[in-house]
Amino acid sequence: MNLFVSEDPSFPLWRAGAPLILASRSAGRRQVLAQAGLPFESRPAEVDERAIEKALGDVGADAVAAALARAKALAISAEAPGRLVIGADQVASCGDRLFGKPETLEKAAELLRFLSGRRHRLHSAIALARDGALVHETVAHADLDMRPLSETFIAAYLAAMGETALTTAGAYQVEGLGAHLFENVAGDHWTIMGLPLLPLIDALRRLGALVA
């Protein structure tokens, strides 16, 4: 089911004909593509992320994020012959610990307590597929320094976020209320939002989908 279609499929820089398919329901990723003028539609991929992570075993955050992005792109690509499909995923790491979307608000609170006063890294992966085959993949990084958080703040923050805290790695969206969590951010805005835009645009040029 299409959740979103960009307004202008006749973007002058676009050469691929049919719009991109974004295999995600993420509002942030839709925003990134729309602001770049890229024509696209959104078709969320239904993949079992926990099963994929379990099958991977003890691998690093880059490998996990890339595998999830790949699975999403290939799942939708199999249903859309000839179309370019973007899969995307984001995993966070702090030391040896990897984490993604918290499953409950209680786990979100535990995660924020762990990250409080620490630096962590976001691993944002994209995969491009066409006709059921992978044609490009990239993992980009951003480092974020979370300020020390009080219990009062964590409770108030999660009350304000509600279930939205469960939809993103780290229980935050930097472009929204997540800005209240941080002292410093090192990395580009698009990577933090979960869709490394510059590597994506470069890949689309090389694939002939954008005017070079």
Active site residues: 89
User: C-alpha distances in angstroms, 21 versus 1, 42, 84, 128?
Assistant: 11, 6, 6, 10
Q: How far apart are CA 135 and CA 194, in angstroms?
A: 19
Q: How far apart are CA 172 and CA 190, in angstroms?
A: 15
Beta bridge partners of 143: 121, 186
CB contact at 8 A, 116 and 194 = no
According to DSSP, the β-strands at 84-94 and 20-22 are: parallel
Q: How far apart are CA 38 and CA 11, in angstroms?
A: 7
CB contact at 8 A, 126 and 195 = yes
φ, ψ of residue 7 to 5 degrees: the values are -75, -30
Look up residue 42 and give its two tokens: 């959104």
